[in-house]
Amino acid sequence: MSDTSPSIILLHGIWFRSLPLLWLSRQLQRRGYRVRRFAYPGMGRPVANNARALAAFLKGLPESEYYLVGHSMGGFVIQRCLLDNPQLPVKGVVSLATPFLGAKVANTLAPKWWGRLIMGRGYPTLAEGNTQWPDAVPVGCVTGDHSAGVGRLFATFDLPNDGTVQVEETRLPAAKDHMVIPASHSGIVYSMAAVRAIDSFIRSGRFNINPV
């Protein structure tokens, strides 16, 4: 791998740290990318706090430019970071199952004290969503439609979903492309289709792949 290889920083979701992204990291490395994983306390701090920590991390990198990939809550952390730090040299972003329009399951859990406990301090963002996006940074959104996940324990889904997030909740208006693959919410970070989608978006700005 050369010093000129594109760099990718991966962000995990709300309940996990960076270890579950190890498989995804290795698959992208095999495709020639330099990959780093950024860990943050998804439940322990609000999105804005984690976004500030991400900005500090990115400003300390030796790379002159890089791509960001965020799973679920990780997409919100990236979003907030870029809105607050437009000077960062981010070439593009891929979100994996991030409910930018707000998640039905989060809204179902939010009124309950134990529901808010489960979601942690980032629950307002999960429930309300955020459709803002900086114009200068291209973003593509990938999500799954294999309905298997803990979200089914708390909410009834009437639309295609990945077991936690509904497909329609991931349709960020500013996205350059949107793709649905056969994956569950947690399983998307172990999906070869997701690997191919990330690779395609970095190379072409579109998801020019077969989703299966």
Q: pLDDT digit string (tens) for 117-166?
A: 777 778 888 889 999 999 999 999 999 999 988 878 778 899 999 999 99
Distance in angstroms (rounded) separating the CA atoms of residues 138 and 48: 21
Which pLDDT value is given to residue 3?
Answer: 61
Identify the structural domains of the chain with CATH numbers, from first to last.
Answer: 7-200 (3.40.50.1820)
DSSP 148-159: -SGGGGT----S
> Residue 162 has what DSSP assignment?
S
pTM attached to this predicted model: 0.94
Which pLDDT value is given to residue 212?
Answer: 62
Instruction: Identify which has the larger pLDDT, 106 or 59.
Output: 59
Which pLDDT value is given to residue 211?
Answer: 66
Alpha helices in 35-122 (DSSP H): 47-59, 73-84, 104-109, 113-119
Instruction: Identify which has the larger pLDDT, 115 or 30.
Output: 30
When mean pLDDT is compared across 115-129, 161-175, 179-193, the lowest value belongs to 115-129
